[in-house]
Each structure stands twice: as structure tokens, then as C-alpha cells.
């Protein structure tokens, strides 16, 4: 395992202009959030995606960090460019299956504990905003590019 001693912010993965645009969008779409949260959410969503680019284990975001991922995905050109530049592939996002969905065709269990995500972010050299990863006890999102979450599995 590669150990990285220096850490960097997720926001370093995008331009200041894009970072600001994403944070403003979150603030607009989620007025219930305190003003300091949108930039922190974007930073951690970018750190999560940066970890997705290099981890081989399934990982996934906390509920609040997932807001940042959803916001970024809506900026499709920027998101696709980011994925290609950062991961060399598109990082897909799939919702958690509902009870009405047919069982998955893959024998692999869906989901990953948030502890694995946190470890992957730190191992990838990103600064972790622990308060955005703590206390999550719901199943939130899934993706198909090596990144999933399920705190209960």
C-alpha cells in the first residue's frame, strides 16, 4: 500500500471558477444549509471522486457529500471532463436499489462501509473533513465505477 504523507484539498482538482459555481449551486438548491457547508461539501465530493479514481475497492459518499456529487453531475460537460482527466474513465452514479427492483445479476454485494471510503480518501492523499463523514446511518447512493456506499454493509 502506498502511504502518502502530504494531503491536499479536493478543491485542487478543479478550477476556482468551477469550484465556486458548484458551491453556489449547492447554496441555492439547499438554503437550509449553513453558509459554510456548500464549499466544504464540494471539497469532500471532489476528494471522494479523486479517491474513486485510484481505489480498487467499492467506496461511496456520505449523505451530505452525495449532495456535492449530484450537483457536479448536473454540470455534465465539466463532470465528464473531470472524470476523464482524473480517472481516465467516467465515474458512474447509480441510486440504491429499491425493494421493487429485481435482484442484481452480479454476485457481488452492493455497498461499502463509509470507513472504507474514509480510508480511501486519506490513502489518496486528500484532507478529510470528518464532520461531513460522521454519523451517517442510511443507505444513500451507488455507482458502477468502483465507488459504492452502504454504511450498513
Q: Is residue 149 part of a domain?
A: no
Residue that is written with C-alpha cell 449530484 in the block: 70
Point out the residues of the chain with pLDDT beneath 70: 1-5, 95-99, 101-112, 135-153
Q: Number of structural domains, the chain?
A: 1
128: number of Cβ within 10 Å:
17
Q: Is residue 100 part of a domain?
A: no
The pLDDT value given to residue 57 = 87
The pLDDT value given to residue 135 = 52
Q: Is residue 148 part of a domain?
A: no
The pLDDT value given to residue 3 = 55
Q: Is residue 104 part of a domain?
A: no
| Domain carrying residue 124 | 10-94+109-142
Q: What is the pTM of this model?
A: 0.78
The pLDDT value given to residue 133 = 94
Closest C-alpha to 62, from 76, 46, 45 = 45
Amino acid at each position: 500500500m502506498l502511504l502518502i504523507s502530504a494531503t491536499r484539498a479536493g478543491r485542487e482538482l478543479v478550477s476556482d471558477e468551477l469550484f465556486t459555481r458548484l458551491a453556489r449551486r449547492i447554496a441555492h438548491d439547499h438554503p437550509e444549509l449553513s453558509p459554510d457547508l456548500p464549499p466544504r461539501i464540494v471539497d469532500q465530493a471532489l476528494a471522494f471522486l479523486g479517491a474513486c479514481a485510484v481505489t480498487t475497492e467499492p467506496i461511496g459518499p456520505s449523505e451530505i457529500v452525495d449532495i456535492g456529487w449530484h450537483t457536479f453531475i448536473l454540470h455534465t460537460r465539466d463532470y465528464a471532463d473531470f472524470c476523464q482527466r482524473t480517472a481516465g474513465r467516467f465515474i458512474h452514479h447509480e441510486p440504491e436499489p429499491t425493494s421493487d427492483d429485481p435482484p442484481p445479476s452480479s454476485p457481488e454485494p452492493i455497498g461499502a462501509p463509509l470507513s472504507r471510503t474514509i480510508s480511501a480518501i486519506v490513502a489518496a492523499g486528500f484532507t478529510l473533513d470528518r464532520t461531513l463523514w460522521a454519523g451517517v446511518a442510511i443507505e444513500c447512493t451507488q455507482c458502477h465505477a468502483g465507488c459504492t456506499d452502504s454504511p450498513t454493509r
